Structure 1
Amino acid sequence: MDRNVKVPEDLVEAAIRVARERGSDVADVPIGVIADAAGMSRSTLVRRLGGTRKTLDDAVRAAGVDPGGRPVRDRAIDAAAVLIADNGLAAVTLEGVAAAAGCSLPSLHLAFEGRDGLLSAVFERYMPLLDLENLLSRPPASTEATVRTIYRTFVDGFSREPRVFPAIMADVLARPAGPGREVWVATALPRLLGSVGLWLAGEVEAGRFKPLPLPILAQLLIGPLATHMLLRPALAPVLGAEFPTIEEAVEAFTGAFLDAVTNEGAVLPGGDA
């Protein structure tokens, strides 16, 4: 590639003009669209740019216009997250995300290979899966501290804006055959079982927790706090000062879970934390 290629002003002006008409960044306008606006074929434009799109972006920047170019993947995940938080999973279509993110449908298909791929990426970013995996790869020495930290991790996930995690949980619980089921089964559930599930199984094997079926143990651990966090925005304004703080709720659920599942006479490792 010739790094001294000079991009004609008319090409720069055409790129800026068509980007403004589309309401997008120059970097997100397909090179073929810019070629049409400039009155030439795509191959001719690519040749005049020295074989690289970067030449045009640099020329646009030199003309005083930021070409943009934040990755389509990041913009799409953020746009989908807002749609999910505001309207639920059913509202998320590739067409709607493309419009909200200012990108094209082909670029979304290229980045995610379809709607399920997009939802998987949103789940990955906004559900506390990685946080739980990191926590339970080296859990605190105290069983009580581990439970408490698991709860705090879930609380952080529920509280993170946009509120994607509670929207996903509400949708999956309300519509088990709905649009989130496939992604939940394929993406979230295996990773929860591989982190929280393995830790629970280890506590049972060590004789500290009752040998309850793993799904029951997991529901006892996660279900009460998840229900509390889902209902909290509606209940807090009604109950006012009587409503517990999040930290008080975490402490209450930690104690209740351990009371329910700890084997009689079992000594839990570590001290309070």
Structure 2
Amino acid sequence: MSNEEFGPSPTAPSTLSSDAPSAAASAVPSDLVEAALRAARKRGAAVADVPMQAIAQEAGVSRSTLLRRLGGVRHALDEAVRAAGVDPGGQKPVRERAVEAGAALISSDGLAALSLERVAAAAECSVHSLYAVFGSRDGMTQAIFERYGPFVNIETILATHPGDLRSTVRRVYAHLAEVVALEPRVLPAILAEVLARPGDEATQALASHMVPRLYASIGEWLSAEVAAGRVRDLPLIALIHQMSNPLLMHLLLRPALELVPDLKLPSVEEMCEAFAEAFVHAVELPGP
């Protein structure tokens, strides 16, 4: 287990402090500090990353006894180690570790392979910690997509666009190209899962999160463009697909196309420009 499971710890400073140790740190017996340092050396890890059970075993006591001698909180031991002149270190928060581990799993094995147990093992935390942070597997999946998906930055682009259809579409396309190429390849893996298993429970749960975001971002912007008389009044889903699908399909197929002998592809930037021009030409209404 990680130290997040024993209550929050204060952020460790980048350099050792010369201040006097806190009362909690001063109350930690020296034998426990030495046990923590020995356990860390044996594991080749920072003290803050050593499970409490391992420290208890090194000290020759039970885990409950160790916690009682520490006053029930892990950070007292970390502070005592720091007061002894050793930086206890520490891992990233559980949420960040889990999102990164989950993204790598989706990229390598697909959305169906994502489970709380596999993420907990990769992130070096407990399943209970993941439930506490995300609430459920679906909550964790949504957090991963928020981090590695396109919507957050696209919403920013659309909220700050200068009112010019062509330049806004170009900016959205440039960001979409970055997200598709981003490692780990979360968006391509998720789209592959949607196409292969549209009725899967995990796919449906993610779609119930993605589709409203799509309508709330690109959909609302296109509706405003239609209302302003700048874009043809087509069914909204048709406008959304016409804007996103041609470029997205090219970006998803591009890694395979680049391996075809003697096939010379334009650059990604040139393709974004070409698809932007095609979309604007198809939907833009002439000015007054």
Q: TM-score range by the shorter chain?
A: 0.7 to 0.9
Provide the residue aligned with 2:80 in structure 1: 59
Structure 1 stretch displaced more, 99-108 or 116-125: 99-108
Q: 2:101 is matched with which residue: 79, 83, 88?
A: 79
Residue 150 of structure 1: aligned partner: 172
Pair 1:225-2:208 in alignment: no
Give the whole-Å Cα distance in 1 for the aligned partners of 2:172 and 2:261.
26
Aligned-partner Cα distance in 2 for 1:90–1:136: 32
Task: Quickly say closer, same or farther: Cα 1:93–1:15, change in 2 above 3 A.
Answer: farther
1:254-269 maps to which residues of 2 (within 5 A)? 254-263=276-285, 266-267=286-287
2:170 aligned with 1:140:
no
Residue 166 of structure 1 deviates from its aligned partner by 1.4
2:148/2:186 contact within 8 Å kept: yes
Residue 30 of structure 1 and its aligned partner are, at CA, apart by: 5.5
Pairs aligned (count): 266
Rounded Cα–Cα distance in structure 2 between residues aligned with 1:127 and 1:4: 43
Q: 3-state SS of the aligned residue for 2:23?
A: coil
Q: Which residue of 1 aligns with 2:211?
A: 189
Matched, 1:123 2:145: yes
Check whether the contact 1:5–1:50 (CA below 8 A) recurs between aligned residues.
Answer: no
Structure 1 residues 21, 4: closer, same or farther in 2, change over 3 A?
Answer: closer
Offset of 1:237 from its aligned partner?
2.2
Shift of residue 23, structure 1, vs aligned partner: 8.5
* Equivalent residues of 1:23, 1:102 under 8 A apart: no
Deviates more, 1:160-169 or 1:244-253: 160-169
CA RMSD of superposed structures (Å): 2.7
Residue aligning to 2:130: 108
Asked if 1:248 is matched to 2:261, the reply is no
AA matched with 2:165: T
- Alpha-carbon separation, structure 1, partners of 2:42 and 2:58: 11
1:201 correspondence with 2:223: yes
SS state of the match for residue 125, structure 2? coil
Runs of 5+ in structure 1 lacking a partner?
Answer: 269-273
Structure 2: gaps of 5 or more residues = 1-21
**Normalized against structure 2, the TM-score is what?**
0.81
Deviation at 1:192, TM superposition (A): 1.8
Shift of 1:107: 1.5
Secondary structure (helix, strand or coil) at the match of 1:238 reads coil
Q: Give the aligned residue type for 2:95.
A: R
**TM-score with structure 1 length normalisation?**
0.85
Q: Take 2:282 and 2:93, find their aligned partners in 1: how far apart are those partners? A: 48
Any conservation in 2 of the 1:24–1:102 contact (CA below 8 Å)?
Answer: no
Residue pair 1:5, 1:49 contacting (<8 A) in 2 also: no
State the Cα distance separating 1:258 from its structure 2 match: 1.5
- Structure 1 residues 25 and 101 mapped into 2: Cα distance closer, same or farther (>3 Å)? farther
Distance 1:103 1:225, change over 3 A: same
Task: Go from structure 1 to structure 2 and tell me whether the alpha carbon gap of 1:168 and 1:23 turns closer, same or farther (over 3 Å shift).
Answer: farther
Cα distance in 1 between the residues matched to 2:41 and 2:114: 26
Q: 1:218 to 1:22 in 2, by over 3 A?
A: farther
CA contact (8 A) 2:25 2:76 kept: no
Give the structure 2 partner of residue 11 of structure 1.
32
The letter of the residue matching 1:267 is G
Which deviates further from its counterpart, 9-18 or 225-234?
Answer: 9-18
Cα deviation digits, residues 94-142 of structure 1 (max 9, x gap): 1111111111222122221221111111001000111011111121331
180-189 or 125-134, which moves further after superposition? 180-189
Post-superposition offset of 1:245: 0.6
